């Protein structure tokens, strides 16, 4: 396994938007290696931050990187869809929530994760290794109708039904255990003329499988809803997305908040990486950043209930557990 070294996309822009918020407590719902969090805590000497991630290796990297900030940092292994459970009552309302929805470079590059169609690896795609959902499970056990639905809805794949049928035919002969086997099946399924345009022929299928495995769209919907409850007046929600399904969800949610007079959309159009950043970090080319400033906190923000029960959360401080 490689070390967790990840270049944060649009770091300065995202952090500057958050730093202008009112308040001192923040949530980084996808803390990764701690790039955004480190920058924010450096800019704001009195800020404190809860960093969440599903990937234990990311949390370990964040723990090391954020150690200098001591007890200003709390790290927790979990999914940002449960933001309510991870922010202590004394830290509410919070000044800002950051969600970076991209798959990190280490996750793409580690052969044992199975995220990339560029490497032959075990067919896995779990961000949280404790999850029981894997790409292997859907590819080898899902029925053709379910496979087709996932590829069409989550990958916007034109050839979804054909790819699903080819997968079903192949797995009858032998289990599809690796990303390399799956890529070959996809290439066979997509007509040659279609393979010559639109990038790598497996890109959309791999996106769809990853979204299904990690329940990414459901998590984003619930995470945004929770952020709306947690961020107080003058606070901000900043989201970095890397594919159109996520970006549309964020855009619609921010517009709904604005229509409900909850606040102001700060990004009429999404902010994208500069050509210099894309040259230095090619994976930033698809990034879109959207930001919202809250002026009226949700009426549900202080409503008691199980969603606000943070008991049992295993916080890990920046300087150790």
Give the model confidence (pLDDT) of 48-77 as tens digits. Answer: 999 999 999 999 999 999 999 999 999 999
How does residue 252 score in pLDDT terms, banded at 50, 70 and 90? very high
Q: What one-character-per-residue DSSP string does 266-321 give? A: S-SS-B---HHHHHH-GGGTT-EEEEEEESS--TTTT--SGGG--TT---EETTB-
State yes or no: pLDDT of 42 exceeds 80.
yes
**239 and 172 in a common domain:** no
pLDDT at 306 over 50: no
At 231 the three-state DSSP class reads strand
Domain count, the chain: 2
Q: Are residues 150 and 66 in the same domain?
A: no
Q: What integer best gives the mean pLDDT of the chain?
A: 89
Co-location of 210 and 78 in the same domain: no
Instruction: Examine residue 123 and state whether it is found in any structural domain, yes or no.
Output: no
Q: Are 211 and 179 in contact (CB under 8 A)?
A: no
| CATH number, position 142 | 1.10.150.170
Residue carrying structure tokens 């480190």: 38
The domain of 186 spans 134-214
Q: Give exposure, 225-234, as e/b (b: 16+ Cβ within 10 Å).
A: bbbbbbbbeb
In percent, the amount of the chain with pLDDT more than 70 equals: 88
> What pLDDT score was predicted for residue 196?
85
Task: Return the CATH number at 73.
Answer: 3.40.50.150
- pLDDT, residue 296, reads 80
Residue 114 lies in a domain: no
- Answer yes or no: is pLDDT of 258 > 80: yes
* Residues 254 and 241 occupy one common structural domain: yes
Does residue 179 sit within a domain? yes
Within a domain: residue 121? Answer: no
- Given a contact cutoff of 8 angstroms between Cβ atoms, the answer to whether 100 and 246 are in contact is no
* CB burial readout 85-120, b (16+ within 10 A) else e: bbbeeebbbbbbbbbbbbbbbbbbbbeebbbbbebe
Residue 180 pLDDT level (bands cut at 50, 70, 90): very high
Is residue 223 assigned to a domain? yes
SS3 54: coil
């Amino acid at each position: 396994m490689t070390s967790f070294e990840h270049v944060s996309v649009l770091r300065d822009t995202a952090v500057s938007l958050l730093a202008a918020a009112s308040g001192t407590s923040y949530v980084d719902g996808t803390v990764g290696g701690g790039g955004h969090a480190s920058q924010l805590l450096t800019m704001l000497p009195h800020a404190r931050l809860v960093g969440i991630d599903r990937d234990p290796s990311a949390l370990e990297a964040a723990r090391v990187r954020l150690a200098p900030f001591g007890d200003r940092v709390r790290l927790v292994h979990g999914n940002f869809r449960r933001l309510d459970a991870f922010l202590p009552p004394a830290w509410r309302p919070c000044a800002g929530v950051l969600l970076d929805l991209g798959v990190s470079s280490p996750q793409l590059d580690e052969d044992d994760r199975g995220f990339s169609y560029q490497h032959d690896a075990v067919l896995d795609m779990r961000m949280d290794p404790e999850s029981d959902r894997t790409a292997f499970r859907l590819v080898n056990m899902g029925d053709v109708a379910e496979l087709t639905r996932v590829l069409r809805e989550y990958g916007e794949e034109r050839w979804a039904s054909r790819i699903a049928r080819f997968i079903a035919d192949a797995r009858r002969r032998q289990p599809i255990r690796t990303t390399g086997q799956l890529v070959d099946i996809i290439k066979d399924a997509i007509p040659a003329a279609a393979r010559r345009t639109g990038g790598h022929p497996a890109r959309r299928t791999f996106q769809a499988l990853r979204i299904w495995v990690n329940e990414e769209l459901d998590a984003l919907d619930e995470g945004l809803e929770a952020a709306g409850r947690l961020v107080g007046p003058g606070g901000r929600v900043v989201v970095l997305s890397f594919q159109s399904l996520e970006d549309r969800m964020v855009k619609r949610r921010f517009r709904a908040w604005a229509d409900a007079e909850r606040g102001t959309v700060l990004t009429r159009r999404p902010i994208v990486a500069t050509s210099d950043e894309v040259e230095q970090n090619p994976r930033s080319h698809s990034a879109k950043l959207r930001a919202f400033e809250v002026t009226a906190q949700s009426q549900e923000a202080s409503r008691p209930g199980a969603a606000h029960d943070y008991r049992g959360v295993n916080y890990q401080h920046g300087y150790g557990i």
